[in-house]
Amino acid sequence: MDSRVFRLLRPAFASLGLLLCAAVLRADPLDEWNWRGPGAKESFKGDNYNGVAFAKDTLVVVGGGFKVLVRKDGDSTWRTSDPGTQHPLYAVTTANDIFYAVGARGTVLTSKGGETWVARNSTVVEALMAITYTDSTFAVVGSGGAVVTSGRSGIWSAKSSDTVVPLHGVSYFDRKFIAVGAKGTVLKSDNASYWAPQKSGLDSALYAVANDGKVFVAVGEDGVILSSSDGSAWTPRNSGTTKSLMGITYAQGTFVAVGASGTILTSPDGIAWKARSSGMTHLLKSAAFARNSFWVVGWNGAILESGAIGGK
């Protein structure tokens, strides 16, 4: 290249080099976890948060502090709402922009915007630990093998799971409900009314289950991760940790599992897992995707937000 041309193009080459370096050095958003709790991260004095969900323009966090945290688009701080119960809430989900929360003593609550809650009659008194929704059926599982369901009528009814072990998680896809629980329990149903036990191949507790529309992934005690394409045959996966995993979600092409001692793991397929640095040691219980980032909640006031997915 002619030296005069090179001198003219040198600034452009330099700028291109800087852009390439910036792209290489840009941090993975799933390694950028920012504290969003109402209190200081170092205090370990906040409420215990168990569940998080997002609908329309509102993020809702539920737990054991006799209050619900609400954050709407544009908010820089958390609002609080009174759920109308002093029972701890263990999980929350959304359907048709309505929030559904479940908790101790058979608690089922609904809310259109996260700030006003209405109690529903679940017909049971067992602790309800997890909830999932199809286009026509809610399924909730809990302690003592409890299963309750509701259709579009909003009337809840108890179903028999044929087990008395605690059930901690439930998920649905491809006309299959999967519930997981203590002692490696896995139950499968095609209608949420009749449940059949499946062989997980282990005896340790399973705390949560999620799916990506192709595979179910269950997580649990001592870093256990299992995956299954049909809910019947389960394969153990290497999580790379012995910390108990308490929650899992799937969004944006990524599974996010969370657990003890600030553990966060991610996977594109439920098979190969990568440890992420949360920057803290709180017990993490649940994760959800909202707007353009993942949110993780846990005990002692822990609320974390990931970096922006897709660079938005």
As given in the structure block, the two tokens for residue 5 are 């041309």
Handedness of CA 71, 76, 80, 81 (dihedral sign): negative
How much is the pLDDT for 311?
Answer: 52
- Whole-number Cα distances in Å, 300 to 38, 50, 89, 272, 278: 11, 11, 15, 30, 15
Q: 27: which DSSP letter?
A: P
Q: Cβ contacts of residue 164 below 8 Å, gap of 6+?
A: 144, 145
- Can you tell me which residue has the tokens 């005690």? 221
Q: How far apart are CA 181 and CA 60, in angstroms?
A: 25
Q: What is the pLDDT of residue 153?
A: 83
What's the sign of the alpha-carbon dihedral 197, 203, 206, 210?
Answer: negative
DSSP 62: E
- pLDDT by residue for the chain (312 residues), tens only, comes to 555 544 554 555 455 454 444 444 568 999 999 999 999 999 898 999 999 999 999 999 999 988 999 999 999 999 999 999 999 999 999 999 999 999 999 999 999 999 999 999 999 999 999 999 998 999 999 999 999 999 978 899 999 999 999 999 999 999 999 999 999 999 999 999 999 999 999 999 999 999 999 999 999 999 999 999 999 999 999 999 999 999 999 999 999 999 999 999 999 999 999 999 999 999 999 999 999 999 999 999 999 999 999 754
**Confidence (pLDDT) at 152:** 79
Question: What token pair was written down for 130?
Answer: 């997890």
**Beta strand 264-267 pairing with 254-259:** antiparallel
Choosing among 2.130.10.10, 3.30.70.100, 3.30.70.20, 3.30.70.1520, the CATH entry for 26-311 is 2.130.10.10
CA dist 129 → 106, 179, 266 (Å): 9, 11, 23
Neighbours of 274 (CB within 10 A): 14
pTM of the model: 0.91
* Domain extent listing, the chain: 26-311
Identity at 43, one-letter amino acid code: S
Using CA atoms, how far apart are residues 231 and 267, in angstroms rounded to an integer? 19
Alpha helix positions (H), the chain: 3-25
